[in-house]
Amino acid sequence: MSLYMHITSKKGFGTGITTIGALKKSGPKVHFIPHHYSHAPGSFFVSPYKEAALLGIDGSGEWATSWLGYGNGNKIKCISESFFPHSLGSFYEAVTQFCGFRTSYDEGKTMGLAPMGNPNTFKEEVKKIVSVDKNGRIHFDLSYFNYQNMSWKRCSPKFFKIFGKPRQHGEEFQQHHLDVAAAFQKVLEDTVLEICDILYDKTKADYLVISGGVSLNSVMNGRIVRESKFKDIYVMPAAGDNGTAIGAAYYLYNNILDMPRNYVHLNPYVGTSYTNEEIENVLKGAKISYEYYDDISEKAASLLEKGKIIGWFQGTMEIGPRALGSRSILANPAFPEMKDKINAEVKFREAYRPFAPSTILEAKNEFFDLEVEAPFMLKVCNVRKEKQHIIPAVTHVDGSARLQTVKEELHPRYYNLIKKLGIKTGVPVVLNTSFNIQGEPIVESPHDAIRCFFSTGLDAIAIGNFLIQKN
């Protein structure tokens, strides 16, 4: 657990992480900004909304696990908080461990597993665990869990008695594992929708800003978009702990120092980038044969049309856990076998796990049932029924997809690739997954990309204006 300490002087402000023991009695004014304030309020100050309801949901900040509030201009108001051990994040970590996955890491696997089960098998039992009061605070029956005792075993004997034997890592899934995952996912969604109704009634705001680790549950976010009273939601791409420094900085700058809001985080491409000269030096140093193309998007689209799987390393790296077209592995979603092929030969991960589609914004409504934009791949929607057989490799078992909508002005090269593939095939949609193998981070540098390319079943890599292919 940590507190974010911000020191304000006459010359400006600084942000950092320290311990309480480092605090001196004299000196500049010190603001301790709790973890949850770095989430929801901080995300509000970089959102496109002047006014919004605010919701932070996490495993735990210092002790807060959820934060409900309202933001208008530079001011925020807290409506209610929940505190550990009453935590939706810990609730979901428990079922993640029950399914044989790593906690605080593999929750996305649980979300992907859930559509394969029947939520109704255990839903009524799971509903007994969690309740929400009139102010949106969360309350749990802790007899199902051990995490409140700081145990690495999240589930209690009662949990196993009711839900069955847990899966050990590497074992086959049994039907009750799938059904428990489905029930916990469904109750998570229903609980957050109940909180959203309370938030709307208390704020009457048109928009919702949601953050914290649980906000990365894109299936939940999709239901908020479809079923809540809010017109749209904003979830920044680094909505978990990786974005707390950004949130803390803007909370201090805009709220505490009352400086004008001057930044909207709608562009996720804020990381490192490499010039063609830098890339070519790496390729020459590795003695790799390559070709140069003025229009690398056209060449890559031609390979995708033929069913090739390519690594796509272009421009400035994206922030957050989702690959958004700068450090991506791409394929043609029209090939039915493509999902299984990439899982087995490239990503080396579980066969059930789905892949996400990226489409140009103009084609969104033709293929997907989503009324709003989804630039950060954090809102799951349904693939239109008449299109599911056309893009089977990105349609999950329940007909859903974690969509990314792509604008030309944000990533022109990626946009042009998708558009050119659409011209060739009639389907302006690509399968997009992160450029890495399971258990490793997304590639950052040309060295990383080349290493991943030669250690996987990728057919080609488009890196800058250069193309490398395997014979």
In the prediction, which pLDDT does 471 show?
A: 80
Question: Which residue from 210, 259, 264, 229 is spatially nearest to 379, judged by alpha carbons?
Answer: 210
C-alpha to C-alpha distance for 231 and 207, rounded to whole angstroms: 6
C-alpha to C-alpha distance for 270 and 318, rounded to whole angstroms: 6
Identity (one letter) of the amino acid at 37? Y
In the prediction, which pLDDT does 115 show?
A: 96
In the prediction, which pLDDT does 380 show?
A: 97
In the prediction, which pLDDT does 21 show?
A: 30
pLDDT tens per residue across all 471 residues of the chain: 233 444 443 333 333 322 223 333 444 555 555 555 556 778 999 999 999 999 999 988 778 999 999 999 999 999 999 999 999 999 999 999 999 999 988 999 999 999 999 999 999 999 999 999 999 999 999 999 999 998 889 999 999 999 999 999 889 999 999 999 999 999 999 999 999 999 999 999 999 999 999 999 999 999 999 999 999 999 999 998 888 888 889 999 999 999 999 999 999 999 999 999 999 999 999 999 999 999 999 999 999 999 999 999 999 999 998 999 999 999 999 999 999 999 999 999 888 889 999 999 999 999 999 999 999 999 999 999 999 999 999 999 999 999 999 999 999 999 999 999 999 999 999 999 999 998 899 999 999 999 999 999 999 999 999 999 998
Within 47-123, strands assigned E span: 51-57, 64-72, 75-83
In the prediction, which pLDDT does 36 show?
A: 57
The 10 Å Cβ neighbour count of residue 273 is 12
Look up residue 126 and give its two tokens: 């799971």
Instruction: Quickly tell me which residue has 């969104």 as its tokens.
Output: 364
Question: Which DSSP symbol is given to 31?
Answer: E
Within 293-352, strands assigned E span: 310-313, 327-331
Q: At what angle do helices 446-454 and 276-285 cross, to 10 degrees?
A: 50
C-alpha to C-alpha distance for 418 and 325, rounded to whole angstroms: 10
In the prediction, which pLDDT does 352 show?
A: 86
In the prediction, which pLDDT does 81 show?
A: 94
Indicate the helix (H) or strand (E) that contains 33: strand 29-33
C-alpha to C-alpha distance for 9 and 21, rounded to whole angstroms: 20
Question: Which DSSP symbol is given to 99?
Answer: T
Decide if 80 contacts 58 (C-beta within 8 A): no
C-alpha to C-alpha distance for 111 and 213, rounded to whole angstroms: 13
Q: Which residues does 206 contact at the CB level (< 8 Å), separation at least 6?
A: 51, 52, 230, 231
Q: What are phi and psi of 414, to 5 degrees?
A: -70, -40
